[in-house]
A = this chain, B = another copy of it.
Amino acid sequence: MSPKSGEPHKYRGIASDLRDRIKAGEFESEKRQLPSERKLADRYTASQMTVRQALGVLRDEGLIESRVGSGWFVAEWRPIVRNALERLSATQWGEGRSMWDVDIDDRRLEVVGRTEVELINSPEDVARALDMDVAARVWKRNRRYAVDGEIVMRATSYIPDDLAHDTRITESDSGPGGTYARLREAGHGPVRFREQLRCRLATPAEVDDLRLAAGAPVIEQHRSAMRADGRVVEVNRMVLDASRFLLVYDFPA
């Protein structure tokens, strides 16, 4: 009935108490729904704003999520496992043996809608990554991915025009195997990759684009694909809904 004592702030006490109740399974009914903000405000003799601040703490921890017009619900973490070396991992690296022993389910990333393709003058950072002049002509391929009908990722790929101009990379449907297969056929097949990762909170634009909650974290991932002579043949900028992904990397010592 009362928020935990010992906490310096009311909202921390409320959050702490609710956290315990969630972990004790108090809301594990059919809908896994929490009391409404107004009911909680009554119960903890606090204002709605203060209760919202407490709920925000638990949302940040990934324990609960809100649905407008509906309520707050206990959340569940069912990550999409994304292994940078899918083929190698299956054969060479053997079985799991990791602390997160999640189900390697076969939910597949599906492209949402049409892939937008356009020939543009390269932005500065892309030009640097491709080791080209600024404003060099590059093909930009922009798409969103979904799992189970929910958008989880935005990917924007850039390929130099001189590598792509007479391939299906210039079309929305780049054909079986995608961009990398077309590059390989043209003699520019990537032989190694570099991925850079950072994690930050979503911008409002990304909140709209990926249907995220405000303040939700995203993973920003940049991948450079290099062919045998070291030239970067593609860069790919991805923004992932961080709450949905578990990224896996295997590598030798």
Interface residues of A (CB under 8 A from B): 12, 15-16, 49, 56-57, 60-62, 79, 84-85, 93-94, 97-101, 125-126, 128-131, 189-204, 214-215, 217-219, 222, 224-226, 230, 232, 235, 237, 242-243, 245-253
Q: State whether A94 touches B129 (Cβ < 8 A).
A: no
Which single residue of chain B is at the shortest CB-CB distance from A236? B99
Q: How far is the CA of A218 from the CA of B176 in the complex (A)?
A: 37
Name the residue in A56, A99, A126, A217 with the highest tally of chain B Cβ atoms < 10 Å from its Cβ.
A99
Q: State whether A99 touches B128 (Cβ < 8 A).
A: yes
Q: Is the interface of A mostly helix, strand, loop or mixed?
A: mixed
Q: Per a CB cutoff under 8 Å, which of B62, B93, B129, B193 touches A200? A: B62
Contacts of A193 in B (CB 8 A): 250-253
Which single residue of chain B is at the shortest CB-CB distance from A226? B97
- The 9 A-B pairs at the shortest CB distance, nearest first, are namely A60-B201, A199-B242, A199-B199, A99-B129, A197-B247, A217-B217, A99-B222, A195-B249, A99-B125
Contacts of A16 in B (CB 8 A): 204
Q: State whether A201 touches B62 (Cβ < 8 A).
A: yes
Which single residue of chain B is at the shortest CB-CB distance from A189? B253
Known: A129-B98, A201-B62, A214-B57. A196 touches B253 (CB 8 A): no
